[in-house]
Amino acid sequence: MGKLLAYLKEYKKECVLAPLFKMLEASFELAVPLVVSAMIDVGIAQKDGGYLLRMGLLMTLLGVVGLASAVTAQYYAAKASVGFGTKLRHQLFAHIQSYSFSELDKVGTATLITRMTSDINQVQSGANLTLRLLLRSPFIVFGAMVMAFTVDRKAALVFAVAIPLLFAVVFGVMAASIPLYRKTQERLDAALVIVRENLAGARVIRAFHKEEEEKGRFGEKLEGLAALQIRVGKISAALNPLTYVIINMATVALLYIGAVRVEIGALAQGEVVALVNYMSQILVELIKLANLIVTVTKAVACGNRVQAVLEIESGMPKETAGAKAPDEGSNTKEPGEGSAAKASGEGNDTEAPGEGSAAEGVPMVQFSKVGLTYPGAGAESLSDVDFAVMEGETVGVIGGTGSGKTSLVHLIPRFYDATRGKVLVKGKDVREYPLEELRGCVGIVMQKAVLFQGTIRENLCWGKPDATDAELWEALEIAQARDVVEAKEGKLDAPVEQGGKNFSGGQRQRLTIARALARKPQILILDDSASALDYATDARLRRAIREMGGRTTVFLVSQRASTVRHADKIVVLDDGKVVGIGKHEELLSSCGTYREIYESQTEG
C-alpha cells in the first residue's frame, strides 16, 4: 500500500491544505462551548442583552468561518483523492495492458476487474477520509480534554478516565473486525467470479437448462458472504452502544461533580454546560474516528491487492533492452520499406521485422526446437517443434482439439514466450524485438471474433489508423465482408454494438479478418477464424487470400482439412508434437494423423 502513495506526489499542496483547514475548523469548534459558557454565566446571569447579542454574533461568525474551512478542506481532499484514484486507475490499466497472456491467465479477469473498480474506489475513499479526519478527530478528542482542564481541573479528571476507556473499546472492536473485513473482500471476489461466468456464458446456461443450479451456486457464495458480513456487522454494531454507555456515564459523573462544585461556588453553571458539550464532542469524534479506521482498514487491504497486481512484472517488456526503438508509423510499413537499414550496412540479424523483406534464403518465421510449458502445467504443451516458413508462403496448421495449434501461432507475436528453443522472425529471435515493432508486422485473427463498440470504420482502422476508404473496402472484399457492410445503413460508419452483438457470428469473423488485412501485415495468422463460415464462403475467402498481392506469409489454423489442403505447406500437430509436414497429397500417404482427419471429414 505504501508504494501507492507515490501517486499523491502531484497533490502535495492539497494533502497539506486539506488537514490544515480541518484543524482550523476544529479550533473554531472547540471555542464554541466557551462562548456558550460565557453567555450563560455573564449574559443570562446578569441579564445583559447586549452581551448575549455580541456572543451570539461571535458564535455565528465561528460557525460561518468553520463552515468555510470545512468546505475548503473537503474541496482539497476531494481533489487529491480523486486525482490519486484517477492516476492509479491509469497506471493499473496500462500495467495490465503490458501483461502477456501468461500473466492474464494467472491473475484472472474477474480479479483484475475487481482491482480496477471496487478496490481502487475503496482506496480513493480511504484517502479522502484520511485527509479530512486523521488529524481532526484526535485533535478534537485531546483538545476537548485540554479545554476541560482549563475550565476545571477536578471535573476534567472524568475526561482522563473516560477517554482511555473509549479508545480501548474503539480499538478493541477494530482489532476484532479488521481481519473479517479482509475475508469479506476475498469472498466478494469469489462471488464476482460466478457473476462474470454467468454473464459470459448466459446462453450456454440456458441451453443446458442450468439456471436453477447456477442460482444455487451463486446463492451459496452469497450466503457465505452474508454470514461473514453479518458477523463483522455484529461486532462493529457493539461500538456505538459501548461508547454511548461510557459517554453517558461520564456525563452523569460530570453533572454530579459539577452540581457539587457549583453548590460550593467553585464552578459556574455555564462551565458545567461547557464540560458536557466537550464530552459530547468527544463522543461524535470517536464515532468518526471508528468509521475512519474501518474505511482506512478496508482501503489498506484493497490497496495491497492493487499493489500486488502492479508488482507482477510482465514477462514481455514493451521495449527489449538494446533493441532499436520503432520508428513512428512502423506499424503500417510496406514489406519493401526500410532501405535505410540496408544502406547502413546492417545485416538481417539487426533488421526489425517491419524494415524491408527477408534476405534471400532467410526464413520469414522459423521454429527451432521450440517447447512451451504453461505456468503451473505439469507437461509441455508444445515439444520439439522445428520447421521454417519462407516469405510469401501459406502454411496450414492442423490437428485435433488440444494438439497445440493456437499455442504454436501465439508464439510468433509473443503472446506467450517459448520456454525452450527459439522462435525467429527473419533470422532474429522474437524476444530481441520491441513488442510494438514485432506486432506491427503481424495481423492476427483470434478464434473468438471480438468487435468493439463504435463504428465499422473505427474497428477496421485498429491496425492502420490512417487507412483510406479504398484500403478498407479492399480488405472487406478479400474478407468476403463487403456485402455485409454495404447492407448496413451508413456503410463504413454503421454502428457496432458492444461485442458486435448486432452482427452474426460469421459476420463478426469476416469483419475481424478484414481488420487484420487492413494493416497489410507481413505475417497474417488466421486462428480457426472461419469456423462460423459456410464452406462456400470459406472457399472464396481462402482463394482471395491466396490471390492477395504482396509477399504476405499466411498461417491458416484450422480443424478442417479443406481449409488447409491448398497451402504451400501443412504442419500436422498431435499432442503438441509435429507429426507431419508437407503438401496435402504427401501427407495423405505419409501421415496417419492427417489421413485420419481428412477421411473423417470426407466420408459419406
Tell the burial category of 553 from Cβ atoms under 10 Å away from its Cβ (0-12, 13-18, 19+).
buried
Q: Using pLDDT thresholds of 50, 70 and 90, give the confidence band for residue 597.
A: confident
Query: Which has the higher per-residue pLDDT, 320 or 80?
Result: 80
pLDDT at 64: 92
Encode pLDDT of 57-71 as tens digits.
998 998 899 899 999
Q: In the predicted model, is pLDDT for residue 349 greater than 50?
A: no
pLDDT in tens, 208-236: 888 888 899 898 888 888 998 898 888 87
C-alpha cell belonging to residue 175: 482489532
Q: Kindly tell me if the per-residue pLDDT of 354 is higher than 70.
A: no
In this predicted structure, the answer to whether residue 331 has a pLDDT above a threshold of 60 is no
Looking at residue 315, its pLDDT comes to 67
pLDDT tens digit sequence for 498-525: 878 888 888 888 888 888 888 888 888 8
Residue 455 in 3-state DSSP?
strand
Most confidently modeled range among 169-178, 182-191, 269-278: 269-278
Average pLDDT over residues 590-596: 86
Residue-wise pLDDT for 233-250, tens only, equals 888 788 778 888 888 888
Residues 44, 102: contact at Cβ < 8 Å?
no
Residue 326 has pLDDT above 50, yes or no: no
| pLDDT band at residue 352 using 50, 70 and 90 as cut-offs | very low
pLDDT of residue 338: 37
Tell me the whole-structure pTM to 2 decimals. Answer: 0.65
Of 348 and 401, which is predicted with more confidence?
A: 401
Q: What are 418-421's contacts with CB under 8 Å, separation 24+? A: 418/370, 418/371, 418/372, 418/382, 419/371, 419/372, 419/373, 419/380, 420/369, 420/370, 420/371, 420/372, 420/373, 420/380, 421/367, 421/368, 421/369, 421/370, 421/371, 421/384, 421/385, 421/386
DSSP string computed for 136-198 = HHHHHHHHHHHHHHHH-HHHHHHHHHHHHHHHHHHHHHHHHHHHHHHHHHHHHHHHHHHHHHH
pLDDT at 393: 86
Q: What is the mean pLDDT of residues 394-399?
A: 88
Least confident of 71-80, 417-426, 533-542: 533-542
* Per-chain mean pLDDT for the chain: 81
Domains contained in the chain, CATH given: 2-310 (1.20.1560.10), 365-602 (3.40.50.300)
Q: 289 CB contacts (<8 Å, ≥6 apart)?
A: 133, 137, 138, 141, 170
Q: In the prediction, which pLDDT does 438 show? A: 84
Q: What is the pLDDT of residue 147?
A: 86
pLDDT tens-place string over residues 357-387: 455 568 888 898 988 888 777 788 888 888 8
pLDDT at 351 over 60: no
